[in-house]
Amino acid sequence: MYSKILILRFPKTEAEKPIVCYLAKDYDLTFNILNAAVLPRKEGIMVLELSGTKKDFKEGVKYLRSQGVQVQNASQEVKRIKKKCTHCGSCTAVCPTGALAVQRPEMLVDFNQKKCSVCELCLTACPSRAMEARPTNKAFF
């Protein structure tokens, strides 16, 4: 089984089409949508985990690109610099996956990297700049 987290960017002409469903139907791939949005200019962005055989994976990515979708490897990860974190909780308000949450009753911010979809919303929300994106050494495919 081959699995990668990908960032898909859909042009506005394709954002409302069920393109991702065909990955399961025609390419025998499974997907888990980690984050998705249609932006103000109607273009779409989606972070998903895509799994299947390496051959099917490559064919599925080729199909996405043929539909005008930009495909990027999520070749970075979000890290928290603990020394900079003031535990204000600003990042928890924007985190769509619950990777950042306030521990109660201590009122400390907890970061669960396994839940992180690398959407980077916490980077701009953090007033002390304790959150940062760092490249990983993972190859695309």
SS (H, E, C) the chain: CEEEEEEEEECCCCCCCCCCHHHHHHHCCEEEEEEEEECCCCCEEEEEEEEECHHHHHHHHHHHHHCCCEEEECCEEEEECCCCCCCCCHHHHHCCCCCEEEECCCCEEEECHHHCCCCCHHHHHCCCCCEEEEECCCCCC
Tally of CB atoms within 10 A around 105? 6
Q: Residue 59 maps to which CATH number?
A: 3.30.70.260
pLDDT (tens digit, 9 = 90+) per residue, 4-18? 888 898 988 887 889
Q: In this structure, are 28 and 62 located in the same domain?
A: yes
Please state the domain count of the chain.
Answer: 2
Q: In this structure, are 55 and 80 located in the same domain?
A: no
Q: In this structure, are 38 and 14 located in the same domain?
A: yes
Domain that holds residue 123: 76-135
pLDDT (tens digit, 9 = 90+) per residue, 75-120? 778 999 999 999 999 999 999 889 999 999 999 999 998 888 788 8
Q: How confident is the model at residue 139 (pLDDT cuts 50, 70, 90)?
A: very low
